[in-house]
Structure 1
Amino acid sequence: MTDGSLARCLGKDEAYNAMLDIHEGVCAAHQAGDKMLWVLKRQGMFWPTMAKNCFEFA
């Protein structure tokens, strides 16, 4: 994050739920892996395998 704030590290279940929320979205837009990664980072979330998980999930 470029604004100097700290990211919140998510556990396995929290990470899955966050990806599910972003992927389906309010209007079921089904975001791709790179967009999911960007949105999750923008919301201040992080986990070590974040990029890999987002691309596999999408």
Structure 2
Amino acid sequence: MKSRTGKAIAHTNVTVLNSSIKTTSNEEGSFSLELKKGKYQLEFETPVFAPVNRQQKVDTKY
């Protein structure tokens, strides 16, 4: 996760909505999720900013 200015946002909670899948970004703002192909609604939460929802399409497994 990065802010609009490009600064890493550490410890952001990332949740796949309507599931029990979640993770937290590391110190560099990076995170990973293992998801099957499909469309997912992700929620990003951090104490510093308001929550943000984003739809993400997964085409292949990396």
Please give the TM-score of this superposition, normalised by the length of structure 1: 0.25
Structure with the bigger RCO (C-alpha within 8 Å, sep 6+) is: 1
Please identify the structure whose Cα radius of gyration is greater.
2
Bigger strand share = 2
